[in-house]
């Protein structure tokens, strides 16, 4: 026992001495920049040695040390970083907190001198990155200032193929259509081999509430994602969305579902894991949700041999007069990559960012290296067979190569086109229909479309201030406190409202909730702060500051 | 030790039967969930998602474990974990025993003061940021010693150990003192050998504390050379959506090219298994110190 | 007795002092030095400016939670859950240790003991999952009750406020019973076997041995752990069980101090608020432990501490 221990210690000593020595030998005379990346998807070891990162290092003559700060408790790690002032040179996914902490350099001058590609890519949209308080640019986000063709929508109504099939592919447009459809289907098929269905899917724990309870009320009324706010488009007065009649109408829809046994009493205590299980078991007939969040469950359904229980995506409206704007892109940014005040060579750091944002960088980090990962066929980029294969089967491949895994880097994603006319990203519209399974094809054909995105109009009117949820309320302020309290209230009161038995009860419960919001939580403080934030933002975006 | 009753009275028989029954029931209650975790770790992720897997893997696979064992820096992490557990635990136990011996001496001048300090320290905390500064100013950031020195004492264990030492007859110490032994020798030659149950307990507790600890790796190191097994595992776990704080976080990901993927439940279960297995293997060695002395003819020390 | 000065006494016990001094320094550095951070609670702390340059707000944050109605609800929940946890936890751990010590078969004893502490290693995320599944409308619990005819319809227990305290206590006891028993088991091991032999010769029953030997011998340990646990009353049920086992419908009964501090402190980056609550927590805990210790002097001379 003792000998084994001392042997182990000796071994560790040797390794401990050897490692830094090895590092010292390998290091060339390149300048080194330290990088913090606040995401958890990246694997620190893989990314530091990734092919594309190495390529960038060679092209620029720089050595990058990337530290991936995991998603857990970033709050605490960030606070120690700020308190001690130990920042890395380049930091990804920073937001207004870092600005308030005085950690970031203003980038305007650096952009002028070394950030030509960034400016070219962004054009006027660069104003949307300005910090309202002083009008400086502190971070560069992922640009979305080009038109995008949606293949698969985000927020939408999801209905099982099987349900549509059995009912002869009806047109589903409004909430009433949904209600009718559920009743009709259950009349034909009351349960799934003895297990009861969950006709309407909801999970209301923490952020699930936004996706399944709050936001559907936005979509059906033709609003874009202002999250907690209802904004009057003329005066920019803000009302807490939960207190509005729009929300009340949607909740009465849920109430109707509940009273007709289409909404389970457990809906409001369902947590994320359980919900995914429910969806993956094929029991959830329909829901309003964000389709990308259900992809794991759909994969499980297909793997279990139940592809007919996957979901079709439609827009959903309260009634025929509303125009759907659920997938209209309102360009606004809430985080990006910044250069810290403790950086020894800001110009070099800006060169790195510039490289990433340039055409070359976009191709490198989305597609790979020509000849190695992709070929140009008929003027269009196509991944090589074996590369595409590896992406589909090996979860580590993308991190090893550093391709298509760098979320939050200032790259173009999705079905946007780059300056050379080709797509930014391999997953695009053309591939969708070809890659779809038989059931998906069947349903798509029945509705006369080639992909779900065809159902959605992305060219509608965006708001002049972008997305409401990206607006910043000062941390630690009374407005923020009011919002937190209101959030608690709505989590506890909305279930009660939904489960009211009579119309009088419903009205009374709703009124009491609104009362609490204004009197106990003082949500009007938040409303005022939001309005001010909107006005500030519009001023900056107009380029007036 | 012979000479005990060679037959059991009926009441004793019933008592025994009841005893075994209750304990078995308890055992099943404790074991089943862990067994379930083990089973899920060996089940395919997509299948686990559908629920309903209880006693046996429905679709057996070793992929989950393979995925974990393929983590790049597993070897470094493992070595670091072993080192910190062995070294840290040894240092801690020795320090705790030494300190609690001092506290058990009723005639010790500083006893009252130290005792109060220990108790108070259990309930007060200055918060993360001040503690971070202490660590930083001591030069312990990115240093292996950050795993050892802050763990040296644990107020609760000190009090527990002191309580045990209190029960040892003071005559032993006094006679040793008369023979000319100083306190250090008394501690090493007499107290510790007689306190094997508590020493074993402390070894177990401190070892588990060290083994499970990941937060210090996260906050005080860069997570490369000094990474620990638990930290690597928790990093994988943190890909789970349990780390998402709020709605803005989700939207931010979806719109910035990030993803919202959840660590499959199977992987989480596999992690629990991998993280726990080493402790489960070590514990049986410690166990004999608890068992001894209870069976007939157990010898103390 | 010749009166000795402090210095002389210290010199006489110099080896002890030498042994204890490093640890005193350790405590000063790692436990007491960080307390300087308590000043954060009296300023509007912004990490950018550090503690001393942040704006002084005095008792603002203390006033905030003292005047918050929700705070008292949260305290009530905390007392209830922690109290139940300590009460049942202590008894069950002692009970298990005693039962285990009575078992003759070493193999059985070792197996059961090993199995008993397994739940300690399962994280609360997994445990809450288990309980949700078990107690859901379609879960095993409802199933069994229905079959046995005890209930006539399914009840979703996790969504009922009134059952939350019971459920969370049960889950905590289940999770920690085996682990907590380890200490008591070690204490039982240290009992002189000769006492048992003597008792046997006197014809004491098995039950009597437990009552007159085992329990009294480990009483100092029991009392000390109890006092320390009472001091920990505000923290006994931590963040995880409350947050993970609770949900929107039970939040009025499930939210405890740890969750409250997180929601209104850390999560909103309000470090000052976190610190203020932490100070409250510390002061209150010290008060509790002091009172518990005073109370224990009635049972054991000199108190525990």
Fold classification of C67-296 (topology level): MetI-like fold (1.10.3720)
Whether residue A519 sits in one domain with residue A464: yes
Residue A407 lies in a domain: no
Q: How far apart are CA B120 and CA A181, in angstroms?
A: 65
| Distance in angstroms between the alpha carbons of the first and the last residue of chain A | 72
Contact list in A for residue C135 (CB cut-off 8 A) is: none
pLDDT of the residue at A321: 87
Q: Residues A47-63: pLDDT tens digits?
A: 888 888 888 888 888 88
Higher pLDDT, B289 or A213: A213
Q: Residues C106-142: pLDDT tens digits?
A: 888 888 888 888 888 888 888 888 888 788 777 778 8
Q: Which residue from B73, B223, B258 is facing A41, i.e. has the nearest CB?
A: B258
Task: Report the residue of chain B nearest C282, measured CA to CA.
Answer: B124
Q: How far apart are CA C135 and CA C166, in angstroms?
A: 12
Q: Which residues contact C271 (CB under 8 A, 6 or more apart)?
A: A79, B127, B129, C40, C45, C47, C265
Phi, psi of B179 (to 5 degrees): -75, 0
Is a pLDDT exceeding 90 seen at residue A240? yes
Residue A10 lies in a domain: no
Give how far Cα A371 sits from Cα of A328, A383, A422, Å.
37, 10, 17
pLDDT of the residue at A103: 86
Q: How many CB atoms lie within 10 A of CB A79?
A: 23
Whether residue A173 sits in one domain with residue A89: no
The answer to whether the CB of B239 falls within 8 A of the CB of A70 is: no
**3-class SS of residue A290:** strand
pLDDT of the residue at B301: 31
pLDDT of the residue at A545: 33
Contact list in A for residue B67 (CB cut-off 8 A) is: 395
The answer to whether the CB of C183 falls within 8 A of the CB of B201 is: yes
Is a pLDDT exceeding 70 seen at residue B7? no
Task: Report the residue of chain A nearest C273, measured CA to CA.
Answer: A476
**3-class SS of residue B103:** helix
Higher pLDDT, A330 or C194: C194
Does the distance separating the beta carbons of A304 and B46 come in below 8 Å?
A: yes
Q: How far apart are CA A361 and CA A56, in angstroms?
A: 8
Whether residue A173 sits in one domain with residue A129: no
Of B41, A485, A401, A456, the residue nearest C70 (C-alpha): A485
Whether residue A199 sits in one domain with residue A66: no
**3-class SS of residue B125:** coil
pLDDT of the residue at B83: 93
Mean pLDDT of chain C: 85
Higher pLDDT, A29 or B229: B229
Q: How far apart are CA A80 and CA A83, in angstroms?
A: 5
Question: Does residue B239 belong to the interface with chain A, where contact is any CB pair within 8 Å?
Answer: yes
Q: Residues C31-48: pLDDT tens digits?
A: 999 998 888 888 888 777
Does the distance separating the beta carbons of A335 and B256 come in below 8 Å?
A: yes
Of A409, A426, A411, A412, the residue nearest A64 (C-alpha): A409
Task: Report the residue of chain A nearest C69, measured CA to CA.
Answer: A520
Q: Which residue from C23, C112, C190 is facing B164, i.e. has the nearest CB?
A: C190
Q: Which residues contact C286 (CB under 8 A, 6 or more apart)?
A: B120, B123, B124, C231
The answer to whether the CB of B38 falls within 8 A of the CB of B31 is: no
Question: Does residue A12 belong to the interface with chain B, where contact is any CB pair within 8 Å?
Answer: yes
Banded pLDDT at A72 (limits 50, 70, 90): low
Q: How far apart are CA A328 and CA A296, in angstroms?
A: 25
The answer to whether the CB of B223 falls within 8 A of the CB of B76 is: no
Q: Which residue from B82, B219, B251 is facing A77, i.e. has the nearest CB?
A: B219
Banded pLDDT at C83 (limits 50, 70, 90): very high
Does the distance separating the beta carbons of B46 and A299 come in below 8 Å?
A: yes
Contact list in B for residue C106 (CB cut-off 8 A) is: 291, 295
Phi, psi of A404 (to 5 degrees): 55, 35
Q: How many CB atoms lie within 10 A of CB C301?
A: 7
Q: Which residue from A101, A269, A488 is facing C249, i.e. has the nearest CB?
A: A269
Q: Which residues contact B109 (CB under 8 A, 6 or more apart)?
A: C6, C9, C10, C13, C17
Is a pLDDT exceeding 50 seen at residue A184? yes
pLDDT of the residue at B2: 44
pLDDT of the residue at C237: 84
Task: Domain of residue A238: give its range.
Answer: 155-326+436-541
Q: How many CB atoms lie within 10 A of CB B256?
A: 22
Query: Could you give the ipTM of this predicted complex?
Result: 0.86
In this complex, the chains that touch B, judged by 3 or more CB pairs closer than 8 A, are: A, C
What are the start-end ranges of the H helices in B105-169?
Answer: 111-123, 128-137, 155-166
Could you list the beta-strand ranges (E) of A161-300: 191-192, 195-196, 198-200, 229-231, 238-240, 284-290
Whether residue A184 sits in one domain with residue A134: no
Q: How many CB atoms lie within 10 A of CB B181?
A: 16
Higher pLDDT, B240 or B70: B70
Give how far Cα A379 sits from Cα of A305, A382, A403, A421, C241, Å.
39, 9, 21, 9, 58
Q: Which residue from C156, C267, C269 is facing A266, i.e. has the nearest CB?
A: C156
Q: How far apart are CA C279 and CA C262, in angstroms?
A: 14
Q: How far apart are CA A479 and CA A529, in angstroms?
A: 7
Give the sign of the dihedral formed by CA A113, CA A115, CA A117, CA A119: negative
Residue A25 lies in a domain: no
Measured between CA atoms, how close is C57 to chain B, in angstroms? 19
* A-proximal residues of B, 27-56, CB under 8 Å: 44, 46-47, 49-52
The answer to whether the CB of A182 falls within 8 A of the CB of A287 is: no
| Distance in angstroms between the alpha carbons of the first and the last residue of chain B | 17
- Tell me, rounded to whole angstroms, the distance of Cα A151 from its chain centroid: 16
Q: What is the dihedral of CA A219, A222, A225, A229, to 10 degrees?
A: -100
DSSP C268: G
Which residues are paired to A376 by β-bridges?
Answer: A381
Phi, psi of B243 (to 5 degrees): -90, -5
Q: How far apart are CA B68 and CA B232, in angstroms?
A: 10
The answer to whether the CB of B289 falls within 8 A of the CB of B197 is: yes
* B-proximal residues of A, 343-372, CB under 8 Å: none
Measured between CA atoms, how close is A12 to chain B, in angstroms? 8
Task: Report the residue of chain B nearest A468, measured CA to CA.
Answer: B248
Q: Is the pTM of this model over 0.80?
A: yes
Q: How far apart are CA A194 and CA A179, in angstroms?
A: 23
Average pLDDT over residues A235-263: 92
Measured between CA atoms, how close is C264 to chain A, in angstroms? 8
Half-sphere exposure of C81 (CA within 13 A, CB side): 34
Give Dmax over CA atoms of chain B in angstroms: 79
Tell me the count of A-C CB pairs closer than 8 A. Answer: 70
Give how far Cα A8 sits from Cα of A5, B80, B280, B281, C163, Å.
5, 11, 21, 19, 52
Whether residue A159 sits in one domain with residue A140: no
Average pLDDT over residues C236-257: 86
Give how far Cα C138 sits from Cα of A195, B53, B56, Å.
9, 14, 20
Whether residue A119 sits in one domain with residue A78: yes
Q: Which residues contact A160 (CB under 8 A, 6 or more apart)?
A: A282, A284, A285, A286, A308, A309, A310, A311, A312
Q: How many CB atoms lie within 10 A of CB A435?
A: 9
Which residues are paired to A336 by β-bridges?
Answer: A94
Banded pLDDT at A452 (limits 50, 70, 90): confident
Give how far Cα C275 sits from Cα of A452, B128, C62, Å.
50, 10, 10
Q: How far apart are CA C41 and CA C51, in angstroms?
A: 9
Give the sign of the dihedral formed by CA A500, CA A503, CA A508, CA A511: positive
Is a pLDDT exceeding 60 seen at residue C2? no
Average pLDDT over residues B207-229: 87
Least confident of A398-402, A472-476, C217-221: A472-476
Q: How many CB atoms lie within 10 A of CB C28?
A: 12
Of A227, A208, A178, the residue nearest A289 (C-alpha): A208
DSSP C103: -
Does the distance separating the beta carbons of B86 and A5 come in below 8 Å?
A: yes
Measured between CA atoms, how close is A83 to chain C, in angstroms? 5
Contact list in B for residue A144 (CB cut-off 8 A) is: 255
Q: How many CB atoms lie within 10 A of CB A381?
A: 21
DSSP C122: S
Q: How many domains does chain A have?
A: 2
pLDDT of the residue at B240: 56
Instruction: List residues of C whose CB lies inside 8 A of any A CB.
Output: 44, 46-48, 50, 129, 132-133, 136-138, 156, 158-159, 247-252, 263-264, 266-271
pLDDT of the residue at A344: 86
pLDDT of the residue at C77: 92
Torsion-angle region of B268 (φ positive above 0: left; ψ -120 to 50: alpha; else: beta): alpha
Q: Which residue from C137, C251, C264 is facing A266, i.e. has the nearest CB?
A: C137
Of A171, A142, A146, the residue nearest A159 (C-alpha): A171
Does the distance separating the beta carbons of C247 and A271 come in below 8 Å?
A: yes
pLDDT of the residue at A503: 92
CATH number for the domain harbouring residue A468: 3.40.190.10
Give the sign of the dihedral formed by CA A49, CA A51, CA A52, CA A55: positive
Q: Which residue from C188, C191, C231 is facing B123, i.e. has the nearest CB?
A: C231
Higher pLDDT, C11 or B21: B21
Is a pLDDT exceeding 70 seen at residue A25? no
Q: Which residues contact A2 (CB under 8 A, 6 or more apart)?
A: none
Hey, where are the domains in chain B? Answer: 10-61, 72-237
Question: Does residue B123 belong to the interface with chain A, where contact is any CB pair within 8 Å?
Answer: no
In this complex, the chains that touch A, judged by 3 or more CB pairs closer than 8 A, are: B, C
Question: Does residue A227 belong to the interface with chain B, where contact is any CB pair within 8 Å?
Answer: yes
Is a pLDDT exceeding 90 seen at residue B146? yes
Of B49, B71, B69, the residue nearest B59 (C-alpha): B49
Does the distance separating the beta carbons of B128 and A80 come in below 8 Å?
A: yes
Does the distance separating the beta carbons of A467 and B257 come in below 8 Å?
A: no
Hey, where are the domains in chain C? Answer: 67-296
Q: Which of A36, A273, A472 to mutate to test the interface with B (most CBs of B within 10 A)?
A: A273
The size of chain C, in residues, is: 305
**Superfamily for domain range B72-237:** MetI-like (1.10.3720.10)
Task: Report the residue of chain B nearest C20, measured CA to CA.
Answer: B99
Does the distance separating the beta carbons of A75 and C264 come in below 8 Å?
A: no
Q: Which residue from C50, C132, C263 is facing A274, i.e. has the nearest CB?
A: C132
Torsion-angle region of A442 (φ positive above 0: left; ψ -120 to 50: alpha; else: beta): alpha
């Amino acid at each position: 026992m003792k000998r084994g221990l001392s042997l182990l210690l000796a071994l560790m000593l040797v390794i401990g001495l050897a490692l830094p020595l090895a590092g010292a030998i390998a290091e060339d005379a390149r300048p080194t920049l330290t990088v913090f990346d606040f995401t958890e998807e990246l694997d620190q070891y893989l990314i530091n040695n990734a092919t594309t990162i190495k390529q960038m290092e060679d092209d620029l003559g720089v050595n990058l040390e990337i530290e991936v700060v995991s998603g857990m408790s970033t709050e605490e790690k960030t606070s120690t970083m700020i308190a001690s002032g130990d920042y890395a040179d380049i930091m990804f996914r920073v937001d207004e907190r870092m600005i308030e902490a005085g950690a970031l350099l203003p980038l305007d001058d650096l952009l002028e001198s070394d950030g030509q590609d960034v400016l070219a890519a962004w054009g006027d949209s660069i104003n949307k990155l300005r910090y309202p308080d002083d009008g400086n640019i502190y971070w560069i986000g992922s640009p979305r200032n080009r038109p995008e063709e949606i293949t698969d929508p985000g927020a939408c109504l999801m209905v099982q193929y099987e349900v549509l099939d059995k009912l002869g592919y009806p047109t589903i447009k409004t909430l009433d259509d949904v209600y009718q459809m559920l009743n009709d289907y259950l009349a034909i098929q009351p349960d799934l081999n003895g297990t009861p269905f969950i006709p309407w899917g909801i999970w209301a724990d923490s952020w699930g509430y936004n996706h399944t309870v709050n936001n559907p009320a936005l979509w059906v009324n033709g609003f874009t994602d202002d999250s907690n706010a209802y904004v009057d488009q003329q005066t920019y007065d803000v009302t807490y969305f939960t207190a509005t009649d729009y929300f009340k109408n949607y909740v009465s829809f849920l109430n109707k579902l509940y009273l007709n046994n289409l909404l389970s009493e457990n809906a409001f205590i369902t947590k994320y894991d359980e919900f995914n299980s429910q969806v993956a078991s094929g029991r959830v007939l329909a829901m309003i949700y964000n389709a990308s969040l259900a992809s794991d469950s759909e994969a499980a359904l297909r793997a279990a041999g139940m592809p007919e229980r996957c979901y079709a995506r439609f827009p959903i409206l309260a009634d025929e007069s509303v125009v759907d704007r659920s997938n209209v892109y309102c360009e606004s940014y809430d985080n990006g990559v910044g250069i810290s005040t403790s950086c020894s060579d800001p110009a070099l750091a800006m060169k790195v960012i510039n490289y990433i944002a340039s055409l070359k960088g976009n191709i490198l980090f989305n597609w790979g290296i020509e000849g190695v990962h992709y070929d140009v066929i008929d003027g269009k980029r196509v991944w090589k067979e074996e590369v595409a294969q590896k992406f589909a089967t090996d979860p580590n491949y993308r991190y090893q190569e550093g391709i298509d895994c760098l979320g939050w880097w200032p790259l173009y994603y999705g079905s946007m086109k780059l300056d050379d006319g080709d797509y930014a990203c391999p997953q695009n519209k053309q591939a969708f229909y070809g890659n779809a399974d038989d059931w998906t094809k069947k349903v798509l054909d029945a509705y006369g479309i080639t992909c779900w995105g065809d159902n959605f109009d992305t060219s509608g009117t965006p708001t002049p201030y972008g997305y409401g949820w990206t607006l910043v309320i000062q941390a630690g302020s009374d407005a923020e406190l009011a919002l937190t309290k209101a959030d608690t209230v709505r989590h506890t009161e909305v279930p009660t409202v939904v489960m009211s038995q009579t119309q009088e009860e419903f009205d009374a419960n709703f009124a009491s909730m609104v009362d609490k919001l204004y009197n106990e939580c003082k949500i009007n403080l938040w409303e005022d702060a939001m309005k001010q934030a909107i006005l500030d933002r519009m001023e900056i975006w107009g380029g007036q500051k | 030790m012979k000479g005990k009753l060679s037959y059991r009275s009926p009441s004793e028989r019933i008592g025994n039967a009841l005893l075994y029954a209750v304990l078995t029931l308890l055992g099943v209650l404790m074991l089943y969930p862990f067994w379930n975790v083990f089973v899920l770790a060996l089940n395919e992720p997509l299948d686990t998602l559908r629920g309903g897997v209880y006693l046996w893997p429905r679709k057996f696979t070793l992929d989950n474990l393979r995925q974990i064992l393929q983590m790049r820096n597993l070897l470094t992490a493992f070595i670091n974990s072993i080192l910190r557990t062995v070294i840290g635990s040894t240092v801690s136990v020795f320090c705790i025993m030494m300190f609690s011996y001092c506290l058990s001496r009723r005639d010790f001048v500083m006893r009252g003061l130290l005792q109060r300090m220990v108790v108070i320290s259990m309930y007060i905390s200055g918060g993360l940021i001040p503690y971070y500064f202490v660590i930083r100013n001591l030069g312990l950031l990115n240093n292996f010693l950050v795993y050892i020195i802050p763990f040296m004492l644990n107020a609760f264990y000190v009090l527990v150990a002191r309580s045990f030492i209190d029960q040892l007859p003071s005559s032993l110490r006094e006679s040793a003192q008369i023979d000319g032994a100083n306190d250090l020798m008394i501690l090493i030659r007499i107290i510790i050998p007689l306190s094997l149950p508590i020493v074993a307990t402390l070894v177990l507790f401190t070892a588990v504390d060290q083994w499970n600890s990941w937060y210090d790796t996260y906050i005080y190191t860069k997570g490369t050379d000094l990474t620990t097994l638990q930290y690597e595992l928790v990093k994988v776990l943190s890909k789970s959506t349990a780390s998402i704080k709020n709605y803005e976080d989700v939207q931010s990901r979806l719109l910035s090219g990030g993803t919202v993927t959840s660590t499959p439940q199977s992987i989480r279960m596999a992690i629990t298994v991998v993280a726990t297995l080493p402790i489960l293997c070590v514990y049986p060695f410690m166990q004999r110190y608890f068992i001894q002395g209870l069976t007939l003819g157990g010898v103390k020390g | 007795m010749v009166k000795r000065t402090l210095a002389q006494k210290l010199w006489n016990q110099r080896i002890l002092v030498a042994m204890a001094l490093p640890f005193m320094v350790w405590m000063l550095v790692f436990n007491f030095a960080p307390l300087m951070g308590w000043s954060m609670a009296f300023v509007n702390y912004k990490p950018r400016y550090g503690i001393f340059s942040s704006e002084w707000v005095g008792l603002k944050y203390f006033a905030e939670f003292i005047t918050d109605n929700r705070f008292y609800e949260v305290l009530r929940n905390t007392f209830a859950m922690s109290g139940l946890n300590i009460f049942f936890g202590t008894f069950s751990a002692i009970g298990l240790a005693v039962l285990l010590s009575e078992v003759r078969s070493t193999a059985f004893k070792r197996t059961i003991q090993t199995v008993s502490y397994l739940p300690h290693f399962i994280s609360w995320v997994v445990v809450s999952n288990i309980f949700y599944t078990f107690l859901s409308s379609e879960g095993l619990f409802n199933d069994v009750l229905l079959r046995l005819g005890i209930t006539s319809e399914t009840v979703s227990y996790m969504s009922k406020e009134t059952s939350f305290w019971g459920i969370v206590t049960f889950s905590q006891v289940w999770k920690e019973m085996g682990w907590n028993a380890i200490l008591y088991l070690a204490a039982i091991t240290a009992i002189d076997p000769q006492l048992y032999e003597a008792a046997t010769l006197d014809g004491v029953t098995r039950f009597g041995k437990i009552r007159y030997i085992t329990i009294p011998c480990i009483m100092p340990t029991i009392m000390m752990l109890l006092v320390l646990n009472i001091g920990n009353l505000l923290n006994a049920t931590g963040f995880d069980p409350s947050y993970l086992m609770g949900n929107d419908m039970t939040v009025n009964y499930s939210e405890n101090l740890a969750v409250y501090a997180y929601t209104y402190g850390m999560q909103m980056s309000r470090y000052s608020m976190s610190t203020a609550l932490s100070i409250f927590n510390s002061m209150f805990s010290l008060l509790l432990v002091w009172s518990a210790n005073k109370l224990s002097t009635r049972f054991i001379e000199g108190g525990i501490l």
